Amino acid sequence: MRRGFALIISISILIFSFSTVLGALMNRPVFVSYITSNSMEPTLSKGDLIFMTPVFFSLEKGDIIVFYSNGEWVCHRIFSEISGGYITKGDNNIATDQQSGKDLVKKEFIAGKVITFLDRPVKIPQVGNYVSEVSEFAWKHKMLMLTLFFLAGLAEIMLGGDKKRRKKRRSRKSLRLHSDQVFLILTFSLLLLATFSGTIWIGSEKIQYGVTSAGGLREEWVLPGQVFQRNLTISNNLHYPMIYAVKGGENSAIDGYFVLWPGESKTLTVTIKAPIETRLYEEKIIVAKYFPLLPPEIAYRLFSINEYIPVLMIDLEILALLAVIHMFGGEKKYYRIRIQPGSFKRKMRNFQLK
């Protein structure tokens, strides 16, 4: 009984940790999310941890959803559905989100539907405050988290097995690796390299401008509400072709994909609608480049959902290819690595004596 309960707790912690880190790496909620305001009081309070399902067949009035709107993730209730999207509202708000100036919520911007029990959302109070800190750390240290997952998997491969096998291994003076283990180590290393490269190739280009009543006196000054254009040049400085995908920011309109060969450049025209408030602005244009291992159109469609999904799909494609190679790779055998206990200490002692 205790062992079963401990197993359930361990699996729950593993799923929760994986969802939190994966969501931070993808910059979107995955299975779990947390409330950041009091707009859903008294149903949900700030700091509550909620659970959601990313797969849903239909949405109805009254469902609580997590969606992306105007640069942030929001958890509100569906107020009504009209042609073109959903109207949403916080339980504690007087007006709907759309009456407050936000866009209609389209299905492609919905991360998931909040899980309920007896018409009440399943939640854990105040735990969301700690999740937000973990998510923020994971997002700032993406490569550290990926490296930790890699090392954890590598440790499981090298040290996995029951206690008897571990005791036998301690008594040996050599490390015995099966060809399957060697394959997994090499696969993990290659996937880590591909993930690292794919992650650092996702960035943004910044276009700065000022909104002022003196718009037009200088090139970077525009009038409030003015629609203007700026050019953005993208170059491929690598030694192999790459797929490029671009996505506009909150006030800019540019979306598309293209392939650049080594040394090639492409100039894009970005259309920007200036806000009404007069001040300095910085428009971020997301620019991502991927290995040409996916059809460009498919890579762009995945990029439109989230810029990190093509990296994951490329990793899966590499994994499938290596699995096929390993499957038909010939005879399986063991490799033995000799280990001499204390040899390092003896060498250091001799070095000090000299």
Go through the chain and tell me how many residues it has.
354
> Between residues 11 and 235, which one has the greater pLDDT?
235
Task: Check residue 163 and give its pLDDT.
Answer: 46
The SS3 of residue 153 is helix
In tens, the pLDDT along 151-207 reads 555 555 454 544 445 555 555 555 666 667 777 777 877 887 788 778 878 888 888
Task: Check residue 353 and give its pLDDT.
Answer: 42
Task: Check residue 332 and give its pLDDT.
Answer: 67
% of the chain at pLDDT higher than 70? 69
**CATH architecture classification, 202-305:** Sandwich (2.60)
Which segments of 163-292 are extended strands (E)?
174-178, 202-211, 221-222, 227-235, 242-247, 252-253, 255-260, 265-273, 280-290
Q: Which of 219, 282, 289 is nearest to 252 (CA)?
A: 282
* Residue whose tokens read 């973990």: 134
DSSP class of residue 229? E
Contact 244, 259 (CB under 8 A): yes
In tens, the pLDDT along 74-96 reads 999 999 988 888 999 999 998 89
**CATH architecture classification, 2-135:** Ribbon (2.10)
Which segments of the chain are extended strands (E)?
32-34, 49-53, 64-69, 72-82, 85-89, 110-114, 116-117, 120-121, 123-124, 174-178, 202-211, 221-222, 227-235, 242-247, 252-253, 255-260, 265-273, 280-290, 334-338
In Å, the largest CA–CA distance within the chain is: 84
Contact 292, 259 (CB under 8 A): yes
Where does the chain hold its CATH 2.10.109.10 domain(s)? 2-135
Q: Which of 204, 186, 205, 188 is nearest to 196 (CA)?
A: 188
60's CB contacts (< 8 A; 6+ apart) are: 78
Where does the chain hold its CATH 2.60.40 domain(s)? 202-305
Whether the predicted pLDDT of 351 surpasses 70: no
Mean pLDDT over each residue of the chain, to the nearest integer: 77
Task: Check residue 239 and give its pLDDT.
Answer: 85
Whether the predicted pLDDT of 244 surpasses 90: yes
Give residue 196's identity as a one-letter amino acid code: F
> Between residues 224 and 19, which one has the greater pLDDT?
224
In tens, the pLDDT along 118-149 reads 888 998 887 766 666 555 555 555 555 555 55
Q: Tell me which range, 47-61, 95-109, 192-206, 322-336, is most confidently predicted by mean pLDDT.
A: 95-109
144's CB contacts (< 8 A; 6+ apart) are: none
* Interior angle at CA 27, CA 132 and CA 318, nearest 5: 130
